[in-house]
């Protein structure tokens, strides 16, 4: 990934970098503030609040440089938050004047730190030769089967858990080394993990670790643990943590600790003494002045040591008082977690994490519960050679392949899709084993629309653009596709849903291609509707989901649409209504897409755009 990113940047013009979402130019500072942990926060916009054209996420590492060649040394920061017109960055210390008073360029950087920690985890697991470490390594290699204790159902479980979920909690707590929980869309695997955490805390099993590859997944776990009444602490850069959860971040909790406040006073005194020492030296070279300077400097260093000890004491107090520590897998390779060990680690979205990164959880805990769904999106691997070498297969999937039912359970009751949406997903991806909870099985979108609204809203509707000439377009300087004709149909559908009374937050627009997502974001700007790529929308849901398939060509090439796991995500985000716009002449050349179009006809959800009112 790092080689690809470096190669991508070399030789590209600024316009090409911006077209690929790697850079934003002509930004200027409009606001300054001090954020959590004493970090310096800077808000940047283009003149006139012009659109930025990028969709970076909180926590992305960036480099800020002068737009003039040969300017000041670039400054590093991380994205705190972003909107279509504004970018907020967090710096560890106040940046140079060129950032705060001039026009700058911001480049997103590859995260090489995560790669280094993943490689170190592989070396560490390879070196486990004795005792429990060797047994765990043999389990990971498929040499030894997993072991489980005999245990009854834990006491105090949430009464809302269904029997399968309760059984999953029991098996997870009975695991002596490893358990894999498969959670198809809407089946509540994260709720099971939270129940495991609560039961383990009640049983006095010691401090737990909750982790995942992405910050969003960790924040979700943190929220569930807090809702369950657990004392949970989020470890990580505050910029990478959702705003409503900032109160649980380690930095914020440490800042509120009395020892930290005292440490701040000592730091201030120490810096004042260092300033006094510099003044003494600057005023002359007498023996007395040098003695005063040395004494002040010595006293300052003593205060620094005392302040650091107090800060460490505050950190230890906050960490020690927690039932659960929540952090990304990458954070397990650095302080304070790199020196800690846990009786139990819970890993959510484990099927989206690379195997080397997931190994960090096994190095930090005696027992590990992996939760995910290997029928949805796999780890993101940009290198074809790495993918061919097996890196695109998660540890979860490999362990299920190795140990089968001995290590694995699948949740089968889902709480998201109505029956009309679930049927195709269940048959295609889960052997027909999914079932809808009675509370969602028969719900419809019409129930949420204004009385008398005349809108065609069956559970699944496929709008066929075949023959309309809505051809895909490959963007000139970006490696993506868009489709202006489909975008117009999507925009019309969203506007029709809004006019019919559906709230904007109940609508999501998704597409496999970034180019189309950017086009739709611009078209629907101000509508309050979420627009994103399929990959970015995994784990989320909406009442109505509008999908643009994009691909329309005479070669019947479907690109990303041939990835069945991506299609699983695409078709399983909606609760009540799924609206797919696509060209059947192109799509039906692929077996899966052909079955999807046939399914639309079978459930009376097929419409031709030639006869569609909004065309």
Position 67 in a domain = yes
pLDDT of residue 255: 82
Per-residue model confidence (pLDDT) at position 1 = 47
47 assigned to some structural domain: yes
- Bigger pLDDT: 387 vs 340: 340
Whether 242 is covered by a domain: the verdict is no
pLDDT in tens, 535-553: 988 889 999 999 999 999 9
Q: Are residues 218 and 290 in the same domain?
A: no
Q: With pLDDT > 90 as the criterion, what percentage of the chain qualifies?
A: 62
Asked if pLDDT for residue 143 goes beyond 70, the answer is: yes
CA 565/CA 122 separation, integer angstroms: 27
Last residue of a domain, one of 385, 410, 435: 410
250 is a domain residue: no
**Residue 462 falls within a domain, yes or no?**
yes
214 vs 197: CA distance, rounded Å: 19
Task: Tell me what pLDDT residue 289 has.
Answer: 66
Q: Clarify whether residues 208 and 337 are in a common domain.
A: yes
pLDDT tens-digit readout, 443-456: 999 999 999 898 99
Q: Which residue range(s) make up the domain with 352?
A: 114-231+327-410
Dihedral angle over CA of 196, 198, 203, 204, nearest 10: 110
Q: What average pLDDT does the chain have?
A: 89
**What is the Cα 532 distance to its own chain's centre?**
13
**Domain boundary at 390, 410, 430, which?**
410
- Residue range 63-86: mean pLDDT, rounded: 85
- Flag whether 238 is in a domain: no
Q: Which residue has the tokens 């089967």?
A: 145
In this structure, the answer to whether residues 360 and 379 fall within a common structural domain is yes
173 and 72 assigned to the same domain: no
- Structure-block tokens of residue 393: 């297969």
User: What is the rounded CA–CA span in Å between residue 215 and residue 329?
Assistant: 9
45 lies in the same domain as 95: yes
CA–centroid distance for 117 within its chain: 18
Kindly state whether residues 259 and 143 are assigned to the same domain.
no
Q: Which parts of 284-347 fold into alpha helices (H)?
A: 287-320
Q: Are residues 448 and 565 in the same domain?
A: yes
Identify whether the C-beta of residue 614 lies closer than 8 Å to the C-beta of residue 492: yes
CA 433 → CA 293, 398, 409, 422, 425, distances in Å? 77, 22, 13, 11, 10
The 3-state DSSP class for residue 246 equals helix
Of residues 361, 342, 433, the one with CA closest to residue 399: 361
- On whether both 58 and 92 belong to a single domain, the answer is yes
- Indicate if 406 and 432 belong to the same structural domain: no
Highest mean pLDDT among 36-40, 45-49, 209-213: 209-213
Q: How many C-beta neighbours within 10 Å does residue 158 have? A: 14
**Would you say residue 199 lies in a domain?**
yes
DSSP assignment string, 132-151: HHHHHHHHHTTSS---B---
Q: Which of the residue ranges 97-101, 284-288, 479-483 would you say has the lowest mean pLDDT?
A: 284-288
CB 79 within 8 A of CB 57: yes
Instruction: Work out the burial of residue 614: count CB atoms within 10 Å of its CB; fewer than 13 is exposed, 13-18 middle, 19 or more buried.
Output: middle
pLDDT value, residue 47: 92
Q: What CATH number has the domain bearing residue 133?
A: 3.40.50.300
Structure confidence at residue 82 as a pLDDT band (50, 70, 90): confident
Q: Does the pLDDT of residue 561 top 90, yes or no? A: yes
What does R_g of the chain's alpha carbons equal in angstroms? 27
Whether the predicted pLDDT of 284 surpasses 60: no
Helices (H), 434-563: 438-441, 484-499, 514-523
What is the H or E stretch that residue 507 is in? strand 507-511
Question: Is pLDDT at 479 greater than 80 in this prediction?
Answer: no
Name the 3-class secondary structure at 419. helix
- Cβ atoms of residues 293 and 277 within 8 Å: yes
Last residue of a domain, one of 386, 410, 434: 410
Do residues 303 and 332 both lie within one domain?
no
Handedness of CA 137, 143, 146, 147 (dihedral sign): negative
**Kind and range of the H or E element at 426?**
helix 419-429
Of 55-59, 190-194, 241-245, 267-271, the least confident: 267-271
pLDDT for 43: 93
So what's the pLDDT on residue 54?
82
> Taking a C-beta distance cutoff of 8 angstroms, is the pair 557, 585 a contact?
no
380 domain residue, yes or no: yes
Crossing angle between the packed helical segments 355-364 and 395-403, to the nearest 10 degrees: 80
Cα separation of 521 and 491, whole Å?
A: 10
CA 334 to chain centre: 20
- 3-class state of residue 481 by DSSP: strand
Beta carbons of 467 and 534 less than 8 angstroms apart: no
CB 511 within 8 A of CB 524: no
On whether both 515 and 444 belong to a single domain, the answer is yes
Read off the pTM: 0.81
Same domain, 340 and 364: yes
Number of folded domains that form the chain:
4
């Amino acid at each position: 990934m790092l080689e690809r990113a470096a190669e991508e940047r070399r030789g590209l013009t600024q316009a090409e970098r911006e077209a690929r979402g790697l850079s934003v130019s002509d930004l200027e500072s409009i606001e300054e503030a001090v954020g959590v942990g004493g970090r310096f926060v800077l808000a940047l916009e283009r003149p006139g609040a012009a659109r930025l054209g990028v969709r970076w996420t909180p926590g992305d590492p960036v480099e800020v440089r002068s737009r003039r060649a040969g300017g000041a040394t670039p400054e590093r920061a991380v994205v705190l938050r972003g909107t279509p017109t504004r970018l907020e960055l967090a710096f560890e210390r106040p940046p140079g004047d060129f950032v705060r008073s001039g026009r700058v360029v911001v480049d997103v950087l590859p995260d090489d730190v995560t790669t280094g920690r993943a490689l170190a985890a592989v070396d560490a697991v390879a070196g486990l030769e004795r005792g429990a470490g060797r047994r765990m390594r043999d389990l990971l290699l498929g040499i030894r089967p997993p072991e489980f204790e005999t245990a009854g159902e834990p006491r105090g479980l949430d009464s809302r858990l269904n029997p399968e979920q309760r059984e999953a909690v029991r098996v997870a707590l009975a695991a002596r080394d490893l358990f894999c929980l498969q959670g198809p869309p809407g089946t509540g695997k994260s709720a099971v993990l939270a129940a495991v955490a609560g039961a383990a805390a009640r049983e006095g099993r010691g401090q737990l670790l909750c982790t995942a590859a992405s910050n969003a997944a960790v924040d979700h776990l943190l929220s569930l643990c807090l809702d369950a009444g657990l004392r949970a602490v989020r470890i990580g850069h505050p910029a990478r943590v959702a705003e409503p959860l900032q109160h649980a971040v380690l930095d914020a909790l440490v800042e509120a600790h009395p020892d930290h406040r005292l440490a701040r006073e000592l730091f201030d005194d120490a810096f004042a003494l260092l300033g006094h020492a510099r003044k003494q030296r600057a005023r002359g070279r007498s023996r007395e002045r040098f003695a005063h300077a040395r004494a002040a400097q010595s006293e300052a260093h003593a205060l620094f040591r005392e302040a650091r000890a107090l800060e460490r004491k505050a950190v230890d107090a906050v960490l020690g008082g927690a039932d659960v520590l929540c952090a990304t897998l990458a954070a397990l390779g650095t302080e304070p977690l790199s020196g800690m060990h846990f009786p139990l680690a819970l890993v959510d979205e484990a099927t989206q994490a690379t195997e080397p990164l997931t190994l960090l959880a096994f190095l930090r805990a005696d027992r590990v519960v992996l939760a995910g769904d290997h029928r949805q999106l796999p780890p993101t691997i940009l290198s074809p050679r790495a993918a061919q070498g097996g890196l695109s297969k998660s540890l979860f999937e490999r362990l299920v392949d190795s140990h089968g039912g001995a290590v694995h359970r699948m949740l089968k009751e889902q709480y998201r899709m109505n029956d009309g949406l679930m049927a195709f997903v269940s048959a295609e991806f889960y052997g027909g084993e999914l079932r809808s909870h009675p509370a969602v099985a028969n719900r419809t979108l019409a129930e949420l629309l204004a009385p008398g609204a005349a809108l065609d809203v069956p559970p699944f509707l496929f709008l066929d653009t075949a023959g309309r000439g809505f051809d895909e377009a490959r963007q000139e300087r970006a490696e993506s596709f868009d489709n202006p004709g489909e975008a117009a149909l999507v925009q019309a559908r969203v506007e029709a849903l809004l006019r019919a009374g559906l709230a904007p937050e109940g609508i999501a627009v998704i597409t496999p291609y970034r180019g189309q997502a950017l086009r739709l974001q611009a078209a629907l700007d101000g509508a309050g509707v979420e627009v994103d790529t399929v990959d970015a929308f995994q784990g989320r849901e909406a009442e109505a989901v509008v999908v643009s398939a994009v691909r329309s060509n005479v070669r019947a090439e479907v690109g990303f649409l041939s990835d069945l796991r991506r299609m699983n995500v695409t078709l399983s985000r909606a609760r009540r209504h799924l609206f797919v716009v696509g060209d059947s002449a192109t799509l039906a050349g692929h077996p899966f897409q052909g079955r999807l179009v046939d399914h639309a006809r079978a459930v009376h959800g097929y419409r031709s755009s030639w006869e569609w009112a909004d065309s």
